[in-house]
């Protein structure tokens, strides 16, 4: 059990910032050429915003629309900005939106925007990776919503170098097909447990911290492979490592993690199929390369 707790101790010994997820929400109501956008943000998110009366709405833009008027007020723990917009022409069924609130709040800020036109509505999610999206005003099918979330979740996974590095380490750590399947199941379980757990953690992790933490999980597995090649307790650490990776999806709809989970299972299966055929010496050499790259990534992100 001591070895299983080791990565967690290492990960959380790094300097932290405050709230796992920095979030805000907004609702855009479109009526012909006119629209009203209401932005709600917790007051504690404004500590980095110099002039919230203008800066917040400046970082949410709607294509072919101009801001006619705006007001901002504080309502208890929420800061609310309302903008009146006018489009160049009536919006028939979609509107292009650009959101860069992460530039004036914190890098890990996530904005959930609900767009409404008559009886039709759509929801889009923005962060520093996805700054542009299209809200479609037609009743989206459940399959469409799931497919969109799955695709964006896979995109979020494959754009993370640390996440891909860990999948290689996880595949290399398995000494049999059965163990590879066990590792994947435990890792995915840890990721899904992170979703309900994240809102209860009173800390904030920047994107750089999450990437460095995920890189450290790869380094941990590489050390296990090199120093404890016959360890029978390796599986105990895997769900804890999954918790760390799950925080990367905590602010997004569950479909994001569903897509990432599918992609992770496939990638580990493919890499493990090849890794299991490698001689022991080659596997140790590959583990050493992974350790070097992961440690370098961790240090690079830590000193930014």
Looking at the chain, the whole-number percentage of residues with pLDDT higher than 70 is 91
Residue 151 resides in a domain? no
pLDDT at 107: 82
Residue 274 and residue 225 share a domain: yes
pLDDT in tens, 153-199: 898 898 889 999 999 999 999 999 999 999 999 999 999 999 998 88
Which range marks the domain in which residue 196 is found?
Answer: 157-302
pLDDT band at 65 (very low <50, low <70, confident <90, very high): very high
Rounded Cα distance, 117 and 99, in Å: 19
Output the domain CATH number for residue 73: 2.60.40
177 within domain boundaries? yes
**Residue 152 resides in a domain:** no
Q: Specify if 61 maps to a domain.
A: yes
pLDDT at 36 (0 to 100): 96
Determine the average pLDDT of the residues in 91-109. 89
Whether residues 69 and 194 fall in one domain: no
* Domain-terminating residue out of 140, 172, 195: 140
pLDDT, tens digit, 9 for 90 and up, residues 106-125: 888 899 999 999 888 888 99
Mean pLDDT of the region 6-18: 40
Q: Does residue 92 share a domain with residue 220? A: no
In a domain, 38, yes or no: yes
Q: How confident is the model at residue 8 (pLDDT cuts 50, 70, 90)?
A: very low
pLDDT given for residue 14 in this prediction: 37
Residue 15 pLDDT > 70, yes or no? no
Residue 13 lies in a domain: no
- The region of weakest confidence among 22-36, 42-56, 157-171, 195-209 is 195-209
Residues 297 and 164 in one domain: yes
Question: Whole-number mean pLDDT of the chain?
Answer: 86
Q: Is 28 domain-assigned?
A: yes
Residue 16 confidence (pLDDT): 38
The pLDDT assigned to 3 comes to 43
Tell whether 134 and 166 lie within a shared domain: no
The reply to whether 278 falls in a domain is: yes
Higher pLDDT among residues 61 and 146, named by residue: 61
Give the tens place of pLDDT for each residue, 238-290.
999 999 999 888 888 899 999 999 999 999 999 999 999 999 899 999 999 99
Looking at the structure, do residues 192 and 298 belong to the same domain, yes or no?
Answer: yes
121 and 164 housed in the same domain:
no
pLDDT at residue 227 is higher than 70: yes
Mean local confidence (pLDDT), 27-40: 95
Q: What per-residue confidence (pLDDT) applies to 9?
A: 39
- What pLDDT score was predicted for residue 48? 80
Q: Check whether residue 135 and residue 261 sit in a common domain.
A: no
Pair 289, 196 in one domain: yes
Residue 298 shares a structural domain with residue 162: yes
Task: For residue 55, count other CB atoms closer than 10 A to its CB.
Answer: 18
Is pLDDT above 80 for 203? no
Residues 228 and 280 in one domain: yes
Are residue 135 and residue 256 in the same domain, yes or no? no
Q: Is the pLDDT of residue 206 over 50?
A: yes
pLDDT value, residue 87: 94
> At 21, is the pLDDT very low, low, confident or very high (cuts 50, 70, 90)?
low
89-115 average pLDDT score: 90
Domain tally, the chain: 2
């Amino acid at each position: 059990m001591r070895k299983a707790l080791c990565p967690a101790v290492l990960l959380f010994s790094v300097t932290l910032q405050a709230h796992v997820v920095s979030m805000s929400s907004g609702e855009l109501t479109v009526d012909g050429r006119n629209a009203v956008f209401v932005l709600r943000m917790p007051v504690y998110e404004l500590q980095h915003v110099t002039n919230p009366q203008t800066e917040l709405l400046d970082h949410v833009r709607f294509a072919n629309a101009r801001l006619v008027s705006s007001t901002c007020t504080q309502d208890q723990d929420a800061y609310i900005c309302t903008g009146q917009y006018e489009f160049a022409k009536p919006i028939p069924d979609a509107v292009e939106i650009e959101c860069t609130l992460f530039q004036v709040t914190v890098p890990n800020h996530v904005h959930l925007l609900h767009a409404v036109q008559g009886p039709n509505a759509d929801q889009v999610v923005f962060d520093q990776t996805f700054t542009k999206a299209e809200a479609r005003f037609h009743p989206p099918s459940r399959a469409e919503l799931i497919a969109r979330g799955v695709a964006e979740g896979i995109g979020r996974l494959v754009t993370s170098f640390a996440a891909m590095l860990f999948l290689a380490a996880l595949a290399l750590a398995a000494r049999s097909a059965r163990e590879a399947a066990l590792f994947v199941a435990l890792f995915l379980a840890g990721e899904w447990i992170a979703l309900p757990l994240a809102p209860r953690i009173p800390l904030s992790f920047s994107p750089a911290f999450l990437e460095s933490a995920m890189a450290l999980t790869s380094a941990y597995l590489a050390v296990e492979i090199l120093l404890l090649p016959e360890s029978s307790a390796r599986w105990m650490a895997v769900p804890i490592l999954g918790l760390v990776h799950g925080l990367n999806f905590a602010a997004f709809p569950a479909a994001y993690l569903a897509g990432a989970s599918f992609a992770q299972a496939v990638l580990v299966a493919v890499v493990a199929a090849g890794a299991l055929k490698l001689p022991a010496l080659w596997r140790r050499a590959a583990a050493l390369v992974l350790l070097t790259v992961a440690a370098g990534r961790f240090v690079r992100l830590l000193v930014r």
